[in-house]
Amino acid sequence: MTKSWRRQPGRSRAFQDLKGTVARNLSADQYDQIVEAAYLEETNRELLKDISLIGGSKQSPGGPRAGTSKVEVAGKTDTGGFAFYQPSQGEVWLLEEITVEAVTSGTWTIAVELDVDGVSMTIIPTSSKTDTFLLFSQAYGWPTANFYLDENTKMNITLGGSFSSVSIKALLTRYR
């Protein structure tokens, strides 16, 4: 009878990096750090399998990612356009709602557009407002479909008219 000897595989870097982390407490940032350091090479096949196994315990394959919601905030006191938000490389965010608060006694305007690789698409057309609070939410009919923002998509906002200040907040949830 011949014994076959098989070399034991080395410990996976993914599990070494997360030693002491309970799966329930795995953060999106911890997972991202492991993914960002993994080269897509044949020699990393086991590491990539381990990363997939780890991610599956916390994240659904189709998003949204647990524990990743955030509110982006911008305050403005002058008119004009500005880049409100653009995800980092490799990120995909779901735009859930936007709130706008204006300190004004007159009429002001707002327009929101998405710029995808230099091509603009208006999602909230320029409209004249006298309201001091606006809510754009799927719960109230806007947007009628999900808006996913990735590294190629920049959300731009243009303000006009007469106001003392405008505060804009957007609720975003990480999709990937």
Q: Are residues 96 and 169 in the same domain?
A: yes
Residues 95, 52 within the same domain: no
Contact status, residue 99 vs residue 154, Cβ threshold 8 Å: no
Entry pTM: 0.69
* Exposure class string for 131-157: b at 16+ Cβ within 10 A, else e: eeebebeeeeeeeeeebebbeebbbbb
21 and 86 housed in the same domain: no
Residues 121 and 166 in one domain: yes
Each residue's pLDDT tens digit, 86-138: 998 878 899 989 999 999 888 899 999 999 989 999 988 888 888 888 888 87
**Does residue 54 sit in the same domain as residue 100?**
no
Question: 48 lies in which domain range?
Answer: 13-58
Would 3 be classed as within a structural domain?
A: no
Whether 119 and 81 share a structural domain: yes
- Residue 17 sits in the same domain as residue 87: no
- 102 Cβ contact partners less than 8 Å away, ≥ 6 residues apart: 108, 129, 131, 132, 133, 163, 165, 166, 167
Predicted confidence (pLDDT) per residue in 53-75, tens digit: 776 665 555 566 667 889 999 99
Report the domain count for the chain.
2
Residue 5 lies in a domain: no
Structural contact between residues 15 and 55, judged by C-beta atoms closer than 8 angstroms: no
Q: Is residue 99 part of a domain?
A: yes
Q: Which helix (H) or strand (E) holds 121?
A: strand 119-129
Residue 105 lies in a domain: yes
In a domain, 7, yes or no: no
The predicted pLDDT at position 57 comes to: 60
* Res 44 pLDDT > 70: yes
